[in-house]
Amino acid sequence: MMEQVKSENAWEDVQRALKETGLDPSTSAEECLCHLWHLYQRSEGKLSSINHDLHLLRQQQAEEMKDVERYVDHVRMLTAERDIPTSDFEKENEQLRTELQQLRLHYDAQLKEVEEMLDQEGLEEITHSSPNEQIAYLLVERATLLEKLEQAEEKLGLHFGSFREAQLKDELQLIHHTLEEQLQQQRPSLYETKETLIQNPWKKLFGLYKDSTTTETSMYDEEFVKEKKLREFVERDLEEASQRLQMAHAEIRRLTDELDMKKQVHDTFESQELQKAKERNNRLDKEILALRNRVRSLDSERKEYMELIEKLNLSINQCQKEKQEVLTHQTGKLVAQSASLVLQNAQTESSAKDVVPPVTQEQPWPSDEAIHRQCQAQIVERDCKNNELLHKIQKIQREFDELVERNEELESILGETQNQRKEEKENFECDIDGLERKILHLEDQLSQLRTSAEKPSTKNQEVATERKQTSDFQQMFMSKEDSVEILESTLAAEREWRQQLELDLEAAQKALRNEKETTHLSEESNSLKHLNKDQNISHEFKNGISAPSRSPFKDLAAGRGALGEIVEGLEKEKVELTLAISESKHKFDSLQRQLYEGMVEKEKLFNENVQLCHDLNNMRHELQSKKEETAQLRQQLAEAQSQILKSPNSEVAVDCGGKVYQPGDSLLQQQQEEMRQLRQDFHRAQNLCIAAEKEMRHERDKNLSLQKNNNILQQENTKGKGELKHIQQKLADSSKLCASLEADLEQSQQKVKELQVDLLKQQQTSKTQATLQEKLSLAASKGSDAEKRILELEQLLKESQHQLCLTEARILRENRFEAEAREHQENENKLKRQLKEEQLNRKLSDQTVEELQQQIKSLRDRVTSLAQKNTELQFKVQQQESKLRIIDDNHKTTFSEHLDCQSNNQKLVEQLSLVQQEKEKLHIEYERGQKHLDEYIRKYNEKQLRYKAKLCRAKELHVQEIEQCNLHIKQLVGELALIRSQAEKEQVWVRKATTENEILLQEKRDLLVQINECEEMEKSSRWDIASLESRLYHMEEENRQLQDSVFRLTSQVGAFERMIKNMQTLNLEEMKNVLPSECLLLAGNSLSLPNVSCPAAGRPDCSGSLKAIHDAKYEETVNGLKASLSLSPSQPSEMGYLNVTTPRTTAEP
């Protein structure tokens, strides 16, 4: 009963979930399964798309890693190139150190020899002093000895005749004795140092001293004669020594100059190399900074990923705990359902007396099993993919760690190289100091040679030894130069050899890497095969699981549905982002088009501006021409006015026939027409100017609007770029979310594995259920036990009710958790739904309690049927045992496959041994290659020697070319002199041109002044024209008034005609009485009519009267013009304009 209740609750949970998805509760099980299958396919499609996106992201990441590796290789190459000169400098420094050590040893040996000689001669005070002080001391002693000898010679020369021979002999004997004593003291030391004096430059001093002592010991008589010869010989020797010293000075100067040149070249070379090294260091620092930034960004991303993973792990652990609790309750429900089904089957069998199992309940299970198998297969595939992804992520992390280590190594190498450079600089400075000391020592030796040359020497062997020493010194110097050149050539050869070795090593490293990658790939393929086999076994094992294992997979389906919703949300965001990107691209394209159109319009407007400027210039020319025409017309008007003034006043004679003479009428009409045309032309010109100005303003406004549009478009372009960057950031965030979803999938797969473990536990529980069923069979034989069991079942019902309450509370918790994860805003609605569901659940629980009570009553009747069911249960147990045997067989197959894997591993070990042997062979070949390289280096050195000979020849050719260049330079100097003379002529011509330009500028200024005056005249003429126009306007108004008066007169003429008709009817006497009165009345109404004479008999001529009236008005207008023109010329035009405009105001009202 408990199991039946639990199964019903589980089915209700499924129905609720289907209601939430949109299905009706009345749908069949097949439709529900189809709906679930569609949901599953959708989730699979979403997962496949996500996997595709992840694959693309990984490809991008792999490309970025390749770029990073290339960058690191580039950095390594730079460090290798930087290490080459440092190694060369180290070798040169070592060679210089060895030479310095040799020189120091030689110098120390010489000092020891000198100290021993001084100790033997009793000069212990000078032994510890410097060589300069020792030389100074010996020079002072030599000077004192020479003074003594000179004093003795003077004494001998002055007192030779006065003193006695005895005294001289005594003095000479005393000198002789003293010298002999000195010689006896010095003889042992001289014999000991004879061999050292041959190789020592100090030999000259002591050898000369010895010669002087031996000459002084000879007989006085012989000495006196020989001293003169010796003096002559010494003088010759001194001259030769002075010449030799001059030659030695010249050689020393030459050597010092060469040393200075070498130092300068070396300093420049060092400075260039230091600059290059600094540049390289700067580049490397920049690259290292870029790598550090990249590493930091990668670290930050990795930390973010780790935090997300931790958060997801916590959420997944909570979900697992809750799902485990739900699973435990659902397993209890399934057990209750199975018991209730067994009881129902027993009832049906007892009622129908048939033992046929119910087919309707077992029909939908095969489709569920197929779906379950498909789900398991797909889960296995996803497990494989996730494992591959984990391996790849681990590889990426390893590569990242290697990059970090490489960067640290590069930094350490940079620090070491900087320290080495500092040490090399210090050593180089020490070497320079040592060479300077050596040069000073050589100079001291030369000074000693000078002093020794001043002493008299009788032996030509010593002179020969000096010459030999100088030649040996020169040969040593030349040999050192040759050795330096040879060392430079060897250094260059060693550099090239090192480069080749580095290239070979890089190639070997690449080959080893490829081998490692192949071995790694083979290992990965083997591991994947083993994993596939294990998964296939697990798949077969899962297929053998019974029907109670379906409920956790439903929970998994629900979890997958949640994941599918998350994936759908991500896909929607992705679609929105793609749409936003496409919209931004369209905007960008439209903005570009608008920019292009704006540029085209701008070009068109620019062309139109050019055309308008051209038209304006033409209009200006036309205006100038029209101004000239107006000036001519003004002159014509002035002439016409003068003619009018000169012409006499024409009087109008009205005859009875009505004939009238009108002088000057045609001229006025022509002038009026011309004035009208001029006004029209002037108004047209003004209108054109105004239209041109309006067009210019319009075009300026257009240009401003285009500039604004361009600025707006640029701003929109920048905004579009910002939106693109924002969208790219969103895509990166979406990729991160995809990675988090992958982690969630992995965790869900782990959950699946845990559920499989739970299924195994459930199988064990099913076994326990079999044992319980056996106990129930025993209960059939014992009624008392059945009654006790009934009591136990009642207790179980109470516990099930308690568990139902707990399950309801847990379901509420799960619903709340899902509602909070999906949308926080819909919490209130979901809570209301949950309340309704609780009420329904309570009603259902009450119903289930009632049903359980009924089932308890029916259990007593069904005890008899339990015995028959026990047999069926035993049959099912046998089937399960057969399944267990199949599982054991599968386990044996897995064990055999494991043995096969071990054999494959042994084969791989053998392959590794073969690879190691090949590696040793490669090492042997590498040694052979080194030998070949040594031979190649020797040949290269020989080639360099030949190249030096060629360089000498090239130097000679270069000297010849320099001579030719000097000749060419002389020719160029002559050409420069000619060019200078031409330049002077051009300067004179330029001065003339400047003077002429100044004259032209003065003329231009005068013309500008004249133009300004003309413009002022034009302004004044404009004012005159305005006054004339006002006057013309006044004349037109007067003409209008005259026309009005003519109209009135025509009306009066009509009245006259009527009166004439009346008068014909009347008598002549009545006419005489009537006419005067009516004429008077008409004269009062009319405007100052002239005297009209009508014949007494017959009809008067009306046209004559009209002409008379018109002539009278014309005379009045002519008189007005004369009065206006007869005004004084000093009156300003403005006053005339004002006087003329006043009648306009009177005429307008």
- How far apart CA 925 and CA 919 sit, in angstroms, is 10
151 in a structural domain:
yes
Percent of the residues in the chain that have a pLDDT greater than 90, as a whole number: 0
pLDDT of 979 strictly over 60: yes
Domain boundary residue, one of 487, 514, 532? 487
- How far apart CA 387 and CA 676 sit, in angstroms, is 103
- Looking at residue 817, its pLDDT comes to 66
- Indicate if 126 and 241 belong to the same structural domain: yes
- Indicate if 238 and 98 belong to the same structural domain: yes
Domain boundary residue, one of 747, 779, 811? 779
- Looking at residue 553, its pLDDT comes to 44
- Looking at residue 658, its pLDDT comes to 39
Nearest 5 degrees, angle CA 741-CA 746-CA 748?
90
Confidence band (pLDDT; 50, 70, 90) for 140? Answer: confident
- How far apart CA 82 and CA 282 sit, in angstroms, is 12
Across 1037-1066, average pLDDT: 82
- Indicate if 608 and 480 belong to the same structural domain: no
Confidence band (pLDDT; 50, 70, 90) for 479? Answer: low
Q: For residues 157-190, b (16+ Cβ closer than 10 Å) or e, as one string? A: eeeeeeeeeeeeeeebeeebeebeeeeeebeebb
Contact status, residue 655 vs residue 1104, Cβ threshold 8 Å = yes
> Of 343, 345, 347, nearest to 852 (Cα)?
343
- Indicate if 619 and 760 belong to the same structural domain: yes
363 in a structural domain:
no
1117 in a structural domain:
yes
- Indicate if 218 and 107 belong to the same structural domain: yes
**pLDDT of 741-784, one tens digit each?**
667 767 766 776 777 777 777 767 767 777 766 766 676 566 66
Q: Classify the phi-psi angles of 200: left when phi > 0, otherwise alpha if psi is within -120 to 50, otherwise beta.
A: beta
- Looking at residue 1123, its pLDDT comes to 46
- Indicate if 672 and 765 belong to the same structural domain: yes
Domain extent at residue 1013: 992-1149
70 in a structural domain:
no
- How far apart CA 194 and CA 142 sit, in angstroms, is 21
- Looking at residue 501, its pLDDT comes to 59
- Indicate if 559 and 670 belong to the same structural domain: yes
- Looking at residue 465, its pLDDT comes to 59
- Indicate if 477 and 555 belong to the same structural domain: no
Q: Minimum mean pLDDT among 129-133, 345-349, 841-845: which range?
A: 345-349
873 in a structural domain:
no
The residue type at 353 = K
**pLDDT of 578-602, one tens digit each?**
676 667 667 666 666 766 776 676 6
- Indicate if 475 and 556 belong to the same structural domain: no
- Looking at residue 366, its pLDDT comes to 43
- How far apart CA 865 and CA 777 sit, in angstroms, is 10
- Looking at residue 863, its pLDDT comes to 64
Non-local CB neighbours of 362 within 8 Å, separated by 6+ positions: none
- Mean pLDDT, the chain, as a whole number? 67
Percent of the residues in the chain that have a pLDDT greater than 70, as a whole number: 50
Would you list the DSSP string of 844-874? Answer: HHHHHHHHHHHHHHHHHHHHHHHHHHHHHHH
Q: For residues 45-81, b (16+ Cβ closer than 10 Å) or e, as one string? A: ebbeebbebbeebeeeeeeeeeebeeebeebbebbee
Confidence band (pLDDT; 50, 70, 90) for 711? Answer: confident
Q: Furthest-apart CA pair in the chain: how many Å?
A: 213
- Looking at residue 1114, its pLDDT comes to 47
Domain boundary residue, one of 445, 460, 487? 487
**pLDDT of 631-688, one tens digit each?**
777 777 677 666 666 554 444 343 443 333 344 466 667 766 776 776 777 667 667 6
pLDDT of 270 strictly over 80: no
- Looking at residue 195, its pLDDT comes to 45
**pLDDT of 856-873, one tens digit each?**
677 666 666 666 766 777
Across 818-839, average pLDDT: 70
Q: What is the 3-state secondary structure (H, E, C) of 219-274?
A: CHHHHHHHHHHHHHHHHHHHHHHHHHHHHHHHHHHHHHHHHHHHHHHHHHHHHHHH
Q: Minimum mean pLDDT among 362-371, 478-487, 925-934, 1140-1149: which range?
A: 1140-1149
Count up the domains in the chain and report the number: 3
Tell me which residue has tokens 């030695």.
248
**pLDDT of 85-112, one tens digit each?**
778 878 887 888 888 888 888 888 888 8
**pLDDT of 290-333, one tens digit each?**
777 777 777 777 777 777 777 766 766 776 676 567 656 655 55
- Indicate if 1013 and 1111 belong to the same structural domain: yes
- Indicate if 620 and 703 belong to the same structural domain: yes
239 in a structural domain:
yes
- Indicate if 727 and 593 belong to the same structural domain: yes
- Looking at residue 50, its pLDDT comes to 85
Measure CA of the first residue to CA of the last residue in the chain; give whole Å.
Answer: 121
146 in a structural domain:
yes
819 in a structural domain:
no
- How far apart CA 332 and CA 339 sit, in angstroms, is 11
Contact status, residue 1080 vs residue 628, Cβ threshold 8 Å = no
**pLDDT of 882-923, one tens digit each?**
777 787 777 777 777 777 777 777 777 787 778 778 778 877
